Amino acid sequence: MRFKIKHEIKGRIRVHLAMDRMSFREADTFDYYLKGFDEISEVKVYERTADAVIFYEGNRARIIEIVRDFCFDGVSVPEKVFECSGREVSAEYYDRLVTSVLLHYGRRMVMPLPVRRLWIILKTFRYIWRGIRTLKSRRLQVELLDAVAISAAVLTGDHKTADGVMFLLKTGDMLEEWTHKRSVDDLARRMSLNIDKVWLLTDTGEVQKDSSDIVCGDRVIVRMGNMIPFDGVVDTGEAMVNQASMTGEAVAVRKCRDMSVFAGTVVEEGELTIRVTQTEGCGRFDKIVRMIEESEKLKSSLEGKAERLADRLVPYTFLASALTWAFGRDINKAVSVLMVDYSCALKMSMPISVLSAIKEASGYDITVKGGKYLEAVAEADTIVFDKTGTLTEASPTVVSVISFCDESEDELLRQAACLEEHFPHSVAGAVVEAARNKGLLHEELHTKVEYIVAHGIVSTIDDVRAVIGSHHFVFEDENVLIPEEMKERFDSLPDEYSHLYFAKNGTLAACILIEDPMRKEVRSVVESLRGQGFEHIVMMTGDSDRTAARIAMEAGITEYYAEVLPEDKAKYIEKAKADGRRVIMVGDGINDSPALSVSDAGIAISEGAEIARQIADITISSSDLNNIVTLREISTLLMKRIGFNYRTIVGFNTALIILGVAGVITPATSALLHNGSTVTLGLKSMTDLLPG
């Protein structure tokens, strides 16, 4: 692609493609292409000017080569990228805002005064109608206050004030709507599907395929803890499906043969074979947007209180205006009071503050499903961590396989990988990856596999019962025996690794040693969280006490619990909440789901199990736990901003009312200052909380 460099500094370059402008699809294509390179950390593509600002690390020449190699036709972009793009929406609101400003000031310059006054009177009727409609609820609301204030200005001949008020109200509504739409769409995009591989059921068995290769009529298998990738109808099986991503309701729904299921929902329990009815364009993104917009989860309690207070203050504004007229018989002073209300600013700045904070968090790879969860994070005094995949590396590795039978280590690893590849867990992924690295390809060796949460897997290989899982599951629940001649080998297993046990026919066949090192940033994160006010930092794991103690000591965590079951984590959190503590749970697996759901704010790791991400209120990147520290900081600053906005609005507008009653300012000045301060505060609320 031909291009020229318009500007550059170290680590940042602005390029202009050899075209006047790009279409929305072309801009999304270029953006998708550039973000696919590790060297590029951030991209901003401007379709109007055909420019792109590229932030990069490393070699400048490599960036030039990447841009030069670009071709619109040579990039295959998933349709969901275009479906979820917010580019067209942003362009629409930008055009509307610019057009509104140009028309407003253009009419002042070219429209004759009598015609302009008639135009203002006609516009007034729209606001009067909006005010009248609110009377259906038998409550005095801000729309009625606006209608009376504008009408009073027109009746007193102050058409300029009425026109200015209507313009500022329209601009404020547009800015709020734009910010809300951008924030909600951004959240919905991050909640949308991201499934690359699915299990396709064929005449010869199960085959793992790219999701893009699936067509309507195909049958795909979805097991416990996995997300349903397509809309479809249940062909066989029975399961409890969590549909929170579609309905907002977290209670699982029973699904069986001939019942419809929807993309993005998660199998909590059981297994389904689904006949696909729709692969693309199923409108899931739009459904998520509607769910978010209708959900009270977006509102923090402080925001809700501010909005309720705003509506309660409207009658007092009317009363103050009436008393001003009754005692002074000065219509200008009475109108000055009407021109000021607390509700407009409160209802505009509070939602914008919350939605902007959610959007800012998304810039740090933090997905927050509502303002109430930011409030919970800000107020929390207890944080509970899962160990595996959370405090330890998200990608553990297999160190070695120790055989306890006459089969080779590679053969045992092949069989274990055959079982583990069906289930979403970091340890399972390590086993599958180890087999892949050794070139241990396999056909399906087993019959139907059954996953037992927080324990392991049960299946049959060559008509022999096979189990793989934890010490508790294999030796206590399944009563697996250790060959007598192998007990010394078993007792000498190294303590520094996690152990995954594989048994067949009731006898231990292998122990897979998993290196599960603690994340390098954990200790500093724990210290930072303690400095941010967390009084209780807890680790809970199903691992042995020996392993748990080592990780806790390295992490600087003094309170930990080992060999716990999923229900134990949930019970601990419920007890802590009963004691008056606000609790955050951080986890990544299916077994963390109960605890995530009962906590005040559940945080899931982005590469963990789908069900954990769906149930969790917040999702963070798996690459860096420092995001939790960032999340706490954003949440705390948001609560401070909401408090500041509230005090500023009440103080400033009270001062305007007093000045209006005293006759110091005219209705026009009162309206200008009130609406100007409202828009200014709204724009300030859109700025980032954290320093750049």
Q: Which pLDDT tens digit goes with each residue over 141-199?
A: 777 877 887 888 888 888 887 887 788 778 767 876 776 676 666 656 655 555 667 88
Residues 210 and 271 placed together within one structural domain of the fold: yes
Which backbone phi and psi does 493 adopt, to 5 degrees?
A: -60, 135
Residues 416 and 503 placed together within one structural domain of the fold: yes
Mean residue pLDDT across the chain: 83
Which backbone phi and psi does 518 adopt, to 5 degrees?
A: -65, 145
Decide the pairing of beta strands 464-469 and 456-461.
antiparallel
Between vectors from CA 619 to CA 618 and to CA 620, what angle results, nearest 5°? Answer: 125
Residues 6+ apart with CB under 8 A from 593: 268, 566, 587, 609, 611, 612, 615
Tokens of 516: 């599960």
Say if residue 251's pLDDT is above 90. no
Per the structure, the count of domains in the chain is 4
Say if residue 446's pLDDT is above 60. no
Measured distance CA(289)–CA(648) in Å, rounded? 32
Chain segment 490-511, per-residue pLDDT in tens: 999 887 788 899 999 999 999 9
Name 500's bridge partners.
Answer: 512
Whether the full predicted model's pTM is greater than 0.75, yes or no, is no
For 18, which DSSP code? Answer: S
Q: Does residue 475 sit within a domain?
A: yes
Measured distance CA(327)–CA(299) in Å, rounded? 41
Decide the pairing of beta strands 464-469 and 197-202.
unpaired
Q: Does residue 10 sit within a domain?
A: yes
Residues 6+ apart with CB under 8 A from 157: none
Q: Does residue 560 sit within a domain?
A: yes
Query: Distance of CA 300 to CAs 379, 402, 426, 435, 642, Å?
Result: 12, 53, 34, 48, 10
Helix (H, G, I), strand (E, B) or coil at 447: coil
Which backbone phi and psi does 125 adopt, to 5 degrees?
A: -60, -30
Decide the pairing of beta strands 464-469 and 498-504.
antiparallel
Name 604's bridge partners.
Answer: 587, 619
Query: Residue 280 — very low, low, confident or very high, per pLDDT cuts 50/70/90?
Result: low
Out of 168-182, 328-342, 404-418, 608-622, the most confident range is 404-418
Q: Does residue 146 sit within a domain?
A: no
Query: Residue 296 — very low, low, confident or very high, per pLDDT cuts 50/70/90?
Result: very low
CB 416 within 8 A of CB 512: yes
Tokens of 623: 């690459």
Residues 232 and 256 placed together within one structural domain of the fold: yes
Q: Does residue 425 sit within a domain?
A: yes
**Helices 667-685, 331-338: inter-axial angle, 10-degree rounding:** 10
Name 515's bridge partners.
Answer: 397
Q: What is the CATH number of the domain that holds 408?
A: 3.40.1110.10
Q: What is the CATH number of the domain that holds 250?
A: 2.70.150.10
Residues 388 and 442 placed together within one structural domain of the fold: no
Q: What is the CATH number of the domain that holds 384?
A: 3.40.50.1000
**Which of residues 290, 307, 335 is at a domain's end?**
290
pLDDT for position 556 = 94
Say if residue 522's pLDDT is above 60. yes
Residue that the structure tokens 């037992």 belong to: 452
As a whole number, mean pLDDT of residues 616-621 equals 86
Helix (H) or strand (E) holding 316: helix 301-328
Query: How many residues make up the chain in this entry?
Result: 692
Residues 28 and 50 placed together within one structural domain of the fold: yes
Measured distance CA(317)–CA(325) in Å, rounded? 12
Measured distance CA(134)–CA(441) in Å, rounded? 68
**Which of residues 234, 256, 290 is at a domain's end?**
290
Say if residue 110's pLDDT is above 70. yes
Residue 271, CB-side half-sphere exposure with 13 Å CA sphere: 12
pLDDT for position 610 = 67
Provide the phi-psi class of 233: left if phi over 0, else alpha when psi is between -120 and 50, else beta: beta
Chain segment 571-600, per-residue pLDDT in tens: 999 999 999 999 999 988 777 878 888 999
Provide the phi-psi class of 336: left if phi over 0, else alpha when psi is between -120 and 50, else beta: alpha
Residues 431 and 379 placed together within one structural domain of the fold: no
CB 670 within 8 A of CB 336: yes
Measured distance CA(428)–CA(426) in Å, rounded? 5
Query: Distance of CA 32 to CAs 43, 57, 527, 616, Å?
Result: 9, 18, 38, 28
pLDDT for position 486 = 93
Residues 552 and 617 placed together within one structural domain of the fold: yes
Say if residue 281's pLDDT is above 90. no
Query: Distance of CA 301 to CAs 297, 350, 639, Å?
Result: 10, 11, 10
Name 44's bridge partners.
Answer: 53
CB 4 within 8 A of CB 16: yes
Provide the phi-psi class of 533: left if phi over 0, else alpha when psi is between -120 and 50, else beta: left
CB 487 within 8 A of CB 481: no
Residues 488 and 582 placed together within one structural domain of the fold: no
pLDDT for position 497 = 83
Residues 418 and 387 placed together within one structural domain of the fold: no
Say if residue 308's pLDDT is above 90. no
Which structural domain, as residue segments, surrounds residue 35?
Answer: 3-77
Residues 435 and 509 placed together within one structural domain of the fold: yes
Say if residue 22's pLDDT is above 90. yes
CB 262 within 8 A of CB 243: yes
CB 648 within 8 A of CB 315: no
Q: Does residue 464 sit within a domain?
A: yes
Residue 446, CB-side half-sphere exposure with 13 Å CA sphere: 23
As a whole number, mean pLDDT of residues 74-97 equals 81
CB 313 within 8 A of CB 341: yes
Name 7's bridge partners.
Answer: 14
For 451, which DSSP code? Answer: E
pLDDT for position 441 = 72
Write the single-letter amino acid at 173: D
Q: Does residue 430 sit within a domain?
A: yes
Q: What is the CATH number of the domain that holds 64?
A: 3.30.70.100
Query: Residue 29 — very low, low, confident or very high, per pLDDT cuts 50/70/90?
Result: very high
* pLDDT, greater one: 251 or 654: 654
Of 391-400, 403-412, 550-559, minimum mean pLDDT range = 391-400
Helix (H, G, I), strand (E, B) or coil at 476: helix
**Which of residues 262, 290, 318 is at a domain's end?**
290
Q: Does residue 361 sit within a domain?
A: no
pLDDT for position 442 = 58
Query: Distance of CA 338 to CAs 7, 49, 363, 653, 660, Å?
Result: 51, 45, 41, 11, 10
pLDDT for position 542 = 79
pLDDT for position 343 = 66
Measured distance CA(585)–CA(600) in Å, rounded? 8
Residue of 393, 633, 412 lying closest to 520 (CA atoms): 393
DSSP string, 138-158: TS--HHHHHHHHHHHHHHTT-
pLDDT for position 344 = 67
Residues 505 and 535 placed together within one structural domain of the fold: no
Name 530's bridge partners.
Answer: none
pLDDT for position 564 = 85
CB 612 within 8 A of CB 570: no
Chain segment 530-569, per-residue pLDDT in tens: 999 999 999 998 777 877 888 899 999 999 998 888 788 9
Say if residue 474's pLDDT is above 50. yes
Residues 388 and 404 placed together within one structural domain of the fold: no
Q: By percentage, how much of the chain surpasses pLDDT 90?
A: 29
